[in-house]
Amino acid sequence: MNPLLLPPRLLFRALDDLHTLALAAGLLERVEESLNARADAILAMGDRIDERSTAILELGEQIVAMGGQVVAMGERFDANQQRAEAILELGERIVALGSRVDDVDARAAQILEQGVEVVAAARDVSAQGAALAEALPVMQRAIEMAEPLEGVVERLGRVADRLPGGARARTPAK
């Protein structure tokens, strides 16, 4: 068909439609760029969350290891405390017998001095154990803070699966 024979109204309508399509095509590129930028931001946020959750899990492992050390220190403290009590009892008996013999009295004084040193050492161990016990709630709080992040990571994974080109290969339901 000859374009010169077309009615002007049809020609203007066709040009107007062509103009509308050109404007829409220009907007599509901006929309695509915007969606790609948002997808990149979501993926970057997912990576940051993954890094932080890894750090939190490592911290949790350290907390568990420290907890084991605290338990071991507590057991050693109990053993040292029992030894200190036994040494003090032994020192008291030696002092009672020391009134009879001068040599035994001098030896008893030495044992009492050692007992006092053991008690001082036991107090130091007790203070260190108390400091570790005070740190335990902070460690437990860190674990409690990490647990809610697991759901966020899963939801972000589902969001990433819904993005175009970001879906994992799905396995058929069994």
Residue 13 belongs to a domain: yes
DSSP codes joined into one string, 60-107:
HHHHHHHHHHHHHHHHHHHHHHHHHHHHHHHHHHHHHHHTT-HHHHHH
Q: Regarding predicted confidence, which is higher, 169 or 44?
A: 44
In a domain, 3, yes or no: no
Q: Is residue 53 part of a domain?
A: yes
> What domain count does the chain have?
1
pLDDT score of 11 more than 90: no
- Global pTM reads 0.31
Examine residue 167 and state whether it is found in any structural domain, yes or no: no
Task: State the chain's mean pLDDT as an integer.
Answer: 84
Q: Does 37 or 116 have the greater pLDDT score?
A: 37
70 located within any domain: yes
The pLDDT of residue 101 is above 70: no
What is the pLDDT at residue 38?
A: 95
In a domain, 173, yes or no: no
Q: What is the CATH number of the domain that holds 143?
A: 1.10.287
Q: Is residue 102 part of a domain?
A: yes
- Confidence at 4, pLDDT banded by 50, 70, 90: low
% of residues, the chain, pLDDT over 70: 87
- pLDDT 10s digits, 48-83: 999 999 999 999 999 999 999 998 888 888 888 888
Predicted pLDDT at 168: 61
Categorize the per-residue pLDDT at 104 as very low, low, confident or very high, splitting at 50, 70 and 90.
low
| Predicted local distance difference test score (pLDDT) of residue 55 | 92
Closest CA to 115 of 134, 80, 135, 88: 88
Tell me if 145 is assigned to some domain: yes
The domain in which residue 117 lies consists of 9-162
